[in-house]
Structure 1
Amino acid sequence: MSKFKKKKSGDLPAVSTASLPDIVFMLLFFFMTVTVMKDSDLMVTNKVPTASEVQKLDKKDPVMYIYAGKPTMKYQKKAGTSNKVQINDKFVVPDEIPNFVLEYQSGLHQDLQNRFITALKIDEDTNMGIVTDVKEALRDANALKINYITKDGDPLVGLKK
């Protein structure tokens, strides 16, 4: 009898799963840090107009978005086809805007309460009367920093003569 036994050739060792939890948690933390949460569902059509003097703002100040335009097909049954104003995920009338502004301000840090900007993302086919009503409601709420969101381009292209 021999003292030593020959190994069977071709046997592979078992795969070690000791580092598997580390890899799973590393992927979890990666996706948690790079994923952006959806802010709100756009309920109105929003083709913004073009402007020639566009300037990009710093992202240091908090921004409250107000959308205006015709409701999308999904919401026309409930809201109709006339132009509407949307804040967060809700259609509002201009008289309700000061309440939303005060609620937004109260949720901010004390230093940022006077520095927040209201961004108006208005569809290019929206009546100016609605924009004026929104601006008056913002004036009543003392939200005087207003930003119009546009895209860069020639504003005169496509105008009828």
Structure 2
Amino acid sequence: MSKFRKKKKGMPAVNTAALPDIVFMLLFFFMVTTTMRETDLRIENPRLPSATEIKKLEHKSLVCTIYVGKAKDENKGSGYNKIQLNDKIASADQVPAFIINARTKVSEAEIPFMTTSIKADKESNVGTITDIRLKLRDVNALKVSYSTQKGSGN
């Protein structure tokens, strides 16, 4: 008789040695590719007007966004004529400084390709949007885009 018994042959255990490497690679991938919202909305989420012919903006890094709508805080007023630049409620007179500040963050060659996007609530006053456009004209920011949602246009 032998002293050694034969072991039963079965399925070998799954090797999990590479599992931490895979988990950290996925974690690193999502950390690199995820972008966080740059501004906190101080106005209510704008209900965008609908349009039939829309085009998606390219080069999002060259877009300055101006929000127009009703302020979330009741202390700021209840009208739909509030303007948000970056993280604060502002007036139309502060729009040129906002655009000039945005221009300092890009190279000189990219300045002609910069676009100003106006995200205005459909209940917003046209006079407020006209004031913004006049201030944009003063600093020669003539490429203006109005954000809409795809719809029937009604």
Same fold (TM over 0.5): yes
More displaced stretch, 85-94 vs 145-154? 145-154
Mind listing any 5+ residue stretches in structure 1 that lack a counterpart? none
- Give the Cα–Cα distance (whole angstroms) in 2 for the partners of residues 89 and 58 of structure 1: 22
Distance 1:21 1:115, change over 3 A: same
Secondary structure at the aligned position of 2:112 is classed as coil
Q: CA deviation at 1:146?
A: 0.5
In percent, how many aligned pairs have the same letter? 40
Any unmatched runs of 5+ in structure 2? none
Give runs of aligned pairs for residues 34-53 of structure 1, distance below 5 A. Answer: 34-45=33-44, 46-52=46-52
Change (3 A) 1:153 1:19: closer
Please say if residues 106 and 113 of structure 1, whose CA atoms lie closer than 8 Å, have aligned partners that are also in contact: no
Identify the match of residue 80 of structure 1 among 77, 81, 86: 77
For 2:144, the equivalent position in structure 1 comes to 146
Query: What is the total number of aligned residue pairs between the two structures?
Result: 151
Aligned to 2:111: 113
Report deviation, 1:58: 4.4
Read off the aligned partner of 2:108 and give its amino acid letter: Q
Q: CA deviation at 1:14?
A: 8.0
Distance 1:58-1:149 versus aligned 2 partners, 3 A rule: closer
Q: What TM-score does the superposition give when structure 1 sets the normalisation length?
A: 0.79
Instruction: State the TM-score, normalizing by the size of structure 2.
Output: 0.82
Partner letter of residue 69 of structure 1?
A: G
- Bigger shift: residues 130-139 or 60-69: 60-69
CA distance in 2, matches of 1:154, 1:3: 86
Pairing 1:59-70 to 2, within 5 Å after superposition: 59-60=58-59, 62-70=62-70
- CA distance 1:101–1:26, change in 2 (3 Å): same
Residues 1-22 of structure 1: CA deviation (Å, up to 9, x unaligned):
x76333777xx98875532331
Determine if contact 1:84/1:91 at 8 Å carries over to the other structure.
Answer: yes
CA distance in 1, matches of 2:32, 2:4: 54
User: Which is worse superposed, 54-63 or 97-106?
Assistant: 54-63
**Could you say what secondary structure the match of 2:67 adopts?**
strand
Q: Distance in 1 between matches of 2:70 and 2:57?
A: 30
Which residue of structure 2 lines up, in the alignment, with residue 31 of structure 1?
30
